[in-house]
Amino acid sequence: MTNFESSVQINRPVNQVYSFLSDLNNHEKLMPENIYNWSSTTDEAKFTIQNMAKLALKVSSRTENKEILIIPSEEAPFAVEMKWLIIENGDQTTATLTVSADLNMMMKMLASGPLQKLVDHQTAALQKELV
């Protein structure tokens, strides 16, 4: 598995950050502009990545105020999981997004840049959203 990771400090209590991230309806606000056809519920999201693929994701597990694990709910181009780790630091919260993808060498060359940009974009968007 190849990991792509990004962390951000948020000036909000851990329960507010967890509450926002645990609802997949909110994740549309964290997506880059090349995502469209978004539909979601609290536990599932479906969307299309421009010029790439359609994805369907679901929350696999939640650990209150600590972790949210998101996995594909339908066939995906490759095995992938997204994990949000949320850690309380006094009056701040550290949110870390890790995307783990099972990529062959060719996919690794094609997808590594976009996947790292995605995790960086999502953590930056989370920080802006929860100002």
The arithmetic mean of pLDDT across residues 116-129, rounded, is 96
Work out how many domains the chain is built from and give that number. Answer: 1
> What's the CATH code of the domain at 81?
3.30.530.20
- Looking at residue 54, its pLDDT comes to 85
Calculate the average pLDDT of the chain. 93
pLDDT band for position 2 (50/70/90)?
very high
Q: Cβ-count burial of 106 within 10 angstroms (0-12 exposed, 13-18 middle, 19+ buried)?
A: exposed
For 27-73, the pLDDT digits (tens) are 999 999 989 999 999 999 999 887 777 889 999 999 999 999 999 99
Domain that holds residue 6: 2-129
**What is the C-alpha separation between 112 and 128, in angstroms, rounded?**
24
- pTM value is 0.92
- Looking at residue 131, its pLDDT comes to 86
